[in-house]
Amino acid sequence: MSEQTPVPTAPAPAAPGATLPPKKGLAVAALVLGIVAIVGAWIPILNIGSIVIALVGVVLGVIAIVQAVKGKAAGKVMAIVGTSLSALSIVIAIVVNAATVAAVDDALDELDDQSTIGVVDSETDDASGDEATSNVDEEPAADAVGTWDNPGVLGDATVWTVAQGEDSWEITFDSIDIVDAITGDDGQKVAVISGTATPTAISDGPTSNWATFPMIGLMADGAAVDDTYDFADTDFLGADFRSTVDLEATAGTTMNWYTTVGLPAGVVPEIVTVETFFGSDAVYLVTGL
What 3 state SS string does the chain have?
Answer: CCCCCCCCCCCCCCCCCCCCCCECHHHHHHHHHHHHHHHHCCCCCCHHHHHHHHHHHHHHHHHHHHHHHCCCECCHHHHHHHHHHHHHHHHHHHHHHHHHHHHHHHHHHHHHHHCEEEEEEEEECCCCCCEEEEECCCCCCCCCCCCCCCCEECCCCCEEEEEECCEEEEEEEEEEEEEEECCCCCCCEEEEEEEEEEEEECCCCCECCHHHCCEEEEEECCEECCCCCCCECHHHHCCCEEEHHHCCCECCCCEEEEEEEEECCCCCCCEEEEECCCCCCEEEEECCC
Does the pLDDT at position 270 exceed 90?
yes
At 286 the pLDDT is 92
Q: What does the pLDDT average to over 46-73?
A: 88
The CATH architecture to which 115-121+145-286 belongs is Sandwich (2.60)
At 120 the pLDDT is 58
CATH 2.60.40 residue ranges in the chain?
Answer: 115-121+145-286
% the chain with pLDDT above 90: 30
At 285 the pLDDT is 93
Q: How confident is the model at residue 177 (pLDDT cuts 50, 70, 90)?
A: very high
Q: What does the pLDDT average to over 127-153?
A: 57
At 14 the pLDDT is 52
Q: How confident is the model at residue 176 (pLDDT cuts 50, 70, 90)?
A: very high
Q: What does the pLDDT average to over 225-251?
A: 88
In whole angstroms, how far apart are CA 195 and each of 114, 150, 183?
Answer: 24, 21, 25
187 vs 30, which has greater pLDDT?
30
Does the pLDDT at position 78 exceed 60?
yes
5 vs 105, which has greater pLDDT?
105
Lowest model confidence (mean pLDDT) among 89-103, 148-162, 175-189: 175-189
Does the pLDDT at position 168 exceed 80?
yes
Task: Determine contact, residues 177/167, Cβ cutoff 8 Å.
Answer: no
Q: What does the pLDDT average to over 73-91?
A: 89
In whole angstroms, how far apart are CA 246 and each of 178, 216, 221, 283?
Answer: 22, 15, 31, 22
Q: How confident is the model at residue 136 (pLDDT cuts 50, 70, 90)?
A: very low
Q: What does the pLDDT average to over 158-187?
A: 86
